[in-house]
Amino acid sequence: MEINNVSSEIIKPSSPTPQHLKTHKLSVLDQVAGDSLFPIILFYPQTCSNNTSLNKTSDLLKRSLSQTLTLYHPFAGRLKDEFSIDCDDTGAIFIEARAAASDMSEIVKQPTVDMLEQLMPYKLNEKPSVAVNLAAKVTYFEHCGGMALCVCFSHVIADITTAANFIKTWVTFASGSDTSSEDDDVIKHAVFGCSSIFPPQNFSSFSRNVISENHSNSAEILTKRFIFDGDKIAALKEKMGSESSSGYHPTRVEAVSAIILGGIMSVEKQADDFNHSHLVASIAVNLRNRVNPPIPEQSIGNIVQAGIAKLPIKKTIDYRNLAETLHKSIEKINDEYLRKFHADGEFLSNMNDVLEGLFDKNCRWFTISAWCRRPLYEADFGWGKPAWVSTVMKHKDVAVLLDSSDGKGIEAWVALPKKDMAKFEQDSGILRYASIDTSLI
């Protein structure tokens, strides 16, 4: 597949940021997230048929992006230091590309990291020449008329909820909706300072080194997509619920996560150099509705904290038990827990207590990030809703879960060391509940 960039420009906010909003303070949760870019890729079939329509589409995207940046002004700024964003209206990057001889279905039917990476403004792990907080790239597939829009968000000011709301607002401006109507509540509270709730701290060595060492990028990492059909998930949930003596019934994410974690345990039990007695599962938990009063859903930032479950690797894998243990680690994170955890600037001390004994040779870490139930499939800029929504990553021992296009299934992007992926694919739970390389278009 050959993709050629044809233009690149800086998109500035349509209106200057007011003086009193020039500095956006980061929270401690923003600080621990790191400053990498994470991508969301939206695929639209048969969007543009000629150069005139291509130009109109690009103009619409750039104009509405400029309007969106006025409300989300930190995305047009630059990281000032570990405590703040300078909202100086420098702007976001917008790249236009053409794939003259390629068909979009080539990617969607059997996507690979290398293919998806070509749709990004920058390659994974590539440091942009200009340190931006947001970069977008639109790729037109002239052979089939399809289009892919990739938006990369700086993790220092965005979690998946922030990113989804940014795209929703961008769509609102592109479609010409009345931004003052009740239906466009996403416009309100776009920038909400969470630094007062989760005060920043001076601990860069902890936030950047511990996390990066455990989930470092490597050429030895293989990433694949596993598709969990909605009917199979429903049957799995029912089975787990019937086996529970406590009345527990898993969510879709918990059920699929249990199968993935069981697969990792199976890999561990087969390893020649096996020395892990426990699997530590970390899952990002949205805090917006877990504090009292709730934080507005439209608030930007990393308003998430990890639920952590230490799971013994046993000979027999109990999926229900895995799901319920993960569920308990999520439910533990409530208003009372968070207030104690962040009280008096003790986040670092409390986090060290939680992690004590979990970063040793007996434990293997695996991180789950669930992007389900976000309105990404509703992103209609004026040419219809996306046929497929994806991401791309190369982080070791990570799974990103997204909704399938029908909203019932889950697509899991799983990144493992190459030596582990072959064993993971052959795990009985993965073979029973998941499939690979299913055509979507």
Give the active site residue among 155, 215, 276, 342: 155
Report DSSP state, residue 115. Answer: H
Question: How far is the C-alpha of 223 from the C-alpha of 169, rounded, in Å?
Answer: 31
Per the rule left: phi > 0, alpha: psi between -120 and 50, beta: everything else, 342 is: alpha
User: Is 380 labeled as catalytic in the residue annotation?
Assistant: yes
Contact 88, 22 (CB under 8 A): yes
The angle subtended at Cα 370 by Cα 350 and Cα 376, nearest 5°, is: 130
> CA-CA distance, 250 to 370, in Å (whole number)?
14
- Strand segments, DSSP code E, in 48-161 are 78-81, 84-86, 92-99, 134-141, 146-154
Instruction: Examine the residue annotation and report whether 189 is marked as an active-site residue of this protein.
Output: no
Residue found by looking up tokens 């086996």 in the block: 243
User: In terms of Cα–Cα distance, which of 134, 117, 169 is closest to 35?
Assistant: 134
Burial call 112-139: b when 16+ CB within 10 Å, e when fewer: ebebbbbbbbbebeeeeeeebbbbbbbb
**Pick the catalytic residue: 183, 231, 353, 380?**
380
Cα–Cα distance, 66 to 22 (Å, whole number):
17
**Residues catalogued as catalytic:** 155, 380
